Amino acid sequence: MRMKVVVAGGSGALGRRLCADLTTAGHEVVVLTRRPRPGPHRQVGWDGRTVGPWRDELAGSAVVNLAGELVDRRPTAANVELLATSRVYPTRALVEASRTLDSPVPVWVQASTLAIYGDAGDTLLDESAPPAEGPPQMAGVARSWEAAVEGANTERLVVLRTGIVLDNDTPALDRLWSLARWGLGGRVGPGTQWISWVHIDDWLAIVRTALAPDSELAGVLHATGPEPARNADMMAALRRSLGRPAAPPTPALLVRLGAVLLRTDPALALTGRRAVPTRLLTSGFRFTHPDLDEALADLRARQSGV
């Protein structure tokens, strides 16, 4: 069934992939953006804060909200505020616009993050797990993000708590592969921290499943693969995908020092979450790339044009 899907945050890495995927599937895509420009999808201007003429696009349309600044930045008070407001303000604007409509939005897919669980250690997390209190740049931002969508005028709301999406030409995987190429592909810190990951194909399939008019999925959904990996195992898989030998570990202190130089957050590497997509699996969803080695091999083959 052909749908019209309004995508906020459609100019980001995941947003571009999703828009292309939905278009290929025959759906009409409208991207809300602060800087409309020529592109493969119709773009409509908004400021991400206030309701404007763009609200007319929501009538009868599905909504996917991915808006938000990249998390790869130093965890300063100013940056935490930026991460929060860049998510909360667009979400509130969408909610306010939806409440002016005569009919509810049929389905609303709201982005969130597994970082809402903070540093969860070895605890196995499904969708019933409570959010953590901190750290503020992770759980704090995520909690305010999810709270902002409360009151949305929609028949069905799906909140996607997404893990690390493995895809070519994205900051997360590019940095990991670069470390392995430079001989720094050993475990990071203790190496025991869990990484919840998902192949881009499966993430796109999860969003399509959530958007389907006949879907019964609603509420919080873990958009992650079924087999989280410890950091040491992830780094070993990255080395295997590149044909690299074993590498020395990177001590936590060096990670923290390097994060200052790279202007990033060391918690991205030193914390972890062992999350599983229980509700997806229970619904019968089948992952195309559940195995980490196979997922990385698939992405490497795409780089080579195989």
Q: Is the pLDDT of residue 175 over 80?
A: yes
Question: What is the pLDDT of the chain when averaged over all its residues?
Answer: 95
Q: Residue 39 has what pLDDT? A: 83
How large is the average pLDDT for residues 73-87? 95
pLDDT of residue 306: 56
Q: How confident is the model at residue 261 (pLDDT cuts 50, 70, 90)?
A: confident
* pLDDT tens digits along 208-226: 999 999 999 999 999 999 9
Identify the helix (H) or strand (E) that includes residue 210. helix 200-211
Give the whole-angstrom CA distance, residue 287 versus residue 280: 10
- The domains found in the chain, sorted by start residue, are 4-304 (3.40.50.720)
Q: What's the whole-number mean pLDDT along residues 150-171? A: 96
166 DSSP β-pair partners: 199
C-alpha span between 163 and 72 (Å, rounded): 14
Percentage of residues in the chain with pLDDT exceeding 90? Answer: 84
Each residue's pLDDT tens digit, 282-301: 999 999 999 999 999 999 99
Predicted pLDDT of residue 289? 98
Residue among 270, 232, 19 nearest 138 (CA): 270
Query: Coil, helix or strand for 104?
Result: coil
CA 71 vs CA 96, 142, 174: distances in Å: 26, 11, 15
Q: Residue 3 pLDDT > 60, yes or no?
A: yes
237 in Cβ contact with 177 (< 8 Å) = no
pLDDT reported for residue 305: 67
Q: What is the tens place of the pLDDT at every residue in 104-153? A: 999 999 999 999 999 999 999 999 999 999 899 999 999 999 999 999 99
Residue 239: pLDDT band (50, 70, 90) is very high
16: helix, strand or coil: helix
Q: Which one, of 209, 138, 200, lies nearest residue 164 by Cα?
A: 200
Flag the least confident range among 86-90, 258-262, 296-300: 258-262
Nearest to 191 by CA among 164, 231, 240: 231
- Is 22 in a helix, a strand, or coil? helix
Q: With pLDDT > 70 as the criterion, what percentage of the chain qualifies?
A: 99
Mean pLDDT of 147-176: 94
